[in-house]
């Protein structure tokens, strides 16, 4: 994902009660990419 796509996803998941568990940032060519794992605690 690009930074913009990542932020949109994190905002969307956060609004639905999910939190980031793990996050990675890496470079492909000259482009910065982002990946995240999100989870939701079930009560």
pLDDT mean values, one per 10 residues, the chain (43 residues) = 85 92 93 89 69
Please give the full DSSP string across 1-43, using - where no structure is assigned.
--HHHHHHHHHHHHHTT-EEEEEEEEEETTEEEEEEEEE----
The pLDDT of residue 43 is 59
What is the structure's pLDDT at 21? 92
pTM check: above 0.85: no
Q: Which residue has the tokens 């009660």?
A: 17
Copy the structure tokens of residue 39. Answer: 């989870």
Instruction: Write the CA distances from 34 to 2, 41, 42, 43, integer angstroms.
Output: 6, 23, 26, 29
């Amino acid at each position: 994902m690009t930074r913009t796509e990542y932020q949109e996803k994190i905002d969307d998941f956060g609004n639905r009660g999910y939190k980031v568990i793990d996050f990675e940032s890496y470079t492909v060519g000259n482009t910065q990419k982002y990946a995240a794992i999100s989870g939701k605690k079930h009560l």
